[in-house]
């Protein structure tokens, strides 16, 4: 039997919405096979992954904790992806934001004032923007590929953080562990729900989703993003500056990733460590695509991928499954999503004999 792709006259809106659901179902089916191969009962594994983490209020709060950085970053990335700006170095922008904001916290560790935290958040955003400004400058001035430069800068930022917590910023009372001081009360993001780790950063993420929707649908720059993404030639004829778009998308993503970074270290972590993110900046790429590059979709996708982190941890504890399973699932989900997206532009024709061309 052969399957032929027949181009649709117009992209299918129904398929654009259905494709993430198809991808999710196929990923789950693959999960069943994968767990069988690992000698784990699929029912128990799926329960551990998707139900057990949400069986308590604490679990739901953790979902918010993990979804916060993912949504913050993915919303901004999706605007860039719409415009064809491939910033894949959000992990580095997150890290540099955490370094800048965290640096302020360490510098002011004896100051107990209400303005310390806002200053840190601002520092984190500016730090992320500064880190993202490098690929933006190189792209607009020297035409350097932003995919490669933003990614290389991720390695540099991670090494810089490691350098600081192993050296100058190491806690003087910390028995030589590579950790900074624990941030003071005034430098910590307030908790929303008592006895959980859900913090005010989650509100930033929600506000950012709404703001991004307004930005995309009700402003000129949002309109330019849509036009340049769908028809670059039309955008050029309309006089939209591609360089300005590169700057806008990268700085926006830098600010969002930097905010995610500082909220993470001033929230659930509470200090600077050599590793502060389990790859949020990369997972956010999956979140952006799964959410159809739309702010509300990204919110849903962010919650789902946050669940995959939680589920991975639960499965590690209860079933002794390796943590790497999470990464495999995330990768598979993006694969299947990209594969199912073929249905947006093509329909399938099943044939029992190869057509004579």
Q: Does 26 bind other proteins (CB under 8 A)?
A: no
Q: Does 6 bind other proteins (CB under 8 A)?
A: yes
CB of 40 to other proteins, least distance (A): 13
**Of 68 and 283, which CB lies nearer to other proteins in the complex structure?**
283
Number of residues that bind other proteins (CB under 8 A): 47
CB of 19 to other proteins, least distance (A): 11
**HEC states along 107-127?**
HCCCCCCCCHHHHHHHHHHHH
Q: Does 286 bind other proteins (CB under 8 A)?
A: yes
Q: Does 22 bind other proteins (CB under 8 A)?
A: no
Cα separation of 186 and 315, whole Å? 36
Q: Which of residues 308-347 bind other proteins (CB under 8 A)?
A: 322, 324-332, 334-335, 338-339, 341-342, 345-346
Q: Between vectors from CA 291 to CA 330 and to CA 60, what angle results, nearest 5°?
A: 70
Cβ neighbours of residue 356 closer than 8 Å, sequence gap 6 or more: none
The first and second tokens of residue 207, run together, are 């506000």
Please pick, from the candidates 18, 54, 152, 273, the single residue that binds other proteins as defined by CB under 8 A.
152
Cα separation of 329 and 34, whole Å? 10
Report the chain's terminal Cα–Cα distance, integer Å: 16
Question: How many CA atoms, within 13 angstroms, populate the side-chain half-sphere of residue 104?
Answer: 26
Q: Does 282 bind other proteins (CB under 8 A)?
A: yes
DSSP one-letter code for 182: B
Q: Does 289 bind other proteins (CB under 8 A)?
A: yes
CB of 92 to other proteins, least distance (A): 10
Cα separation of 12 and 101, whole Å? 44
Place of tokens 């929303």: 192
Q: Which stretch binds other proteins (CB under 8 A): 3-11, 123-131, 238-246, 294-302?
A: 3-11
Q: Does 149 bind other proteins (CB under 8 A)?
A: yes
Interacting residues toward other proteins by CB under 8 A: 5-7, 86, 88, 138, 142-145, 147-149, 151-153, 155-156, 159-160, 162-163, 166-167, 282-283, 285-286, 289, 322, 324-332, 334-335, 338-339, 341-342, 345-346
């Amino acid at each position: 039997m052969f399957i032929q792709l027949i181009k649709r006259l117009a992209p299918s809106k129904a398929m654009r919405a259905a494709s993430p659901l198809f991808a999710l179902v196929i990923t789950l089916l693959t999960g069943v096979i994968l767990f069988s191969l690992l000698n784990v009962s699929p029912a128990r594994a799926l329960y551990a992954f998707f139900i057990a983490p949400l069986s308590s209020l604490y679990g739901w709060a953790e979902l918010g904790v993990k979804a916060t950085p993912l949504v913050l970053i993915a919303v901004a990335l999706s605007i860039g992806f719409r415009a064809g700006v491939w910033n894949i170095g959000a992990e580095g922008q997150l890290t540099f934001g955490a370094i800048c904001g965290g640096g302020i916290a360490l510098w002011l560790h004896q100051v107990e004032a209400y303005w310390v935290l806002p200053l840190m958040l601002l520092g984190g955003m500016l730090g992320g923007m500064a880190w993202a400004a490098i690929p933006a400058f190189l792209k607009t001035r020297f035409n350097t590929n932003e995919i490669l430069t933003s990614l290389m800068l991720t390695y540099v930022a991670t090494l810089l953080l490691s350098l600081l917590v192993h050296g100058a910023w190491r806690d003087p009372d910390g028995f030589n562990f590579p950790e900074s001081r624990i941030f003071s009360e005034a430098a910590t993001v307030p908790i929303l729900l008592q006895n959980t780790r859900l913090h005010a950063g989650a509100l930033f993420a929600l506000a950012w989703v709404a703001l991004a929707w307004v930005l995309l649908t009700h402003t000129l720059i949002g309109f330019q993003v849509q036009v340049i993404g769908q028809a670059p030639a039309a955008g050029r004829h309309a006089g939209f500056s591609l360089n300005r778009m590169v700057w806008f998308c990268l700085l926006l993503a830098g600010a969002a990733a930097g905010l995610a970074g500082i909220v993470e270290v001033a929230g659930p972590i509470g200090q600077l460590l050599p590793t502060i993110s389990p790859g949020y900046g990369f997972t956010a790429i999956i979140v952006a695509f799964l959410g159809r590059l739309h702010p509300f979709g990204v919110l849903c996708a962010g919650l789902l991928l946050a669940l995959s982190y939680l589920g991975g941890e639960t499965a590690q504890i209860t079933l002794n499954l390796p943590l790497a399973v999470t990464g495999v699932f995330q990768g598979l989900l993006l694969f299947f999503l990209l594969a199912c997206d073929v249905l947006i532009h093509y329909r399938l024709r099943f044939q029992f004999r190869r057509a004579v061309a």
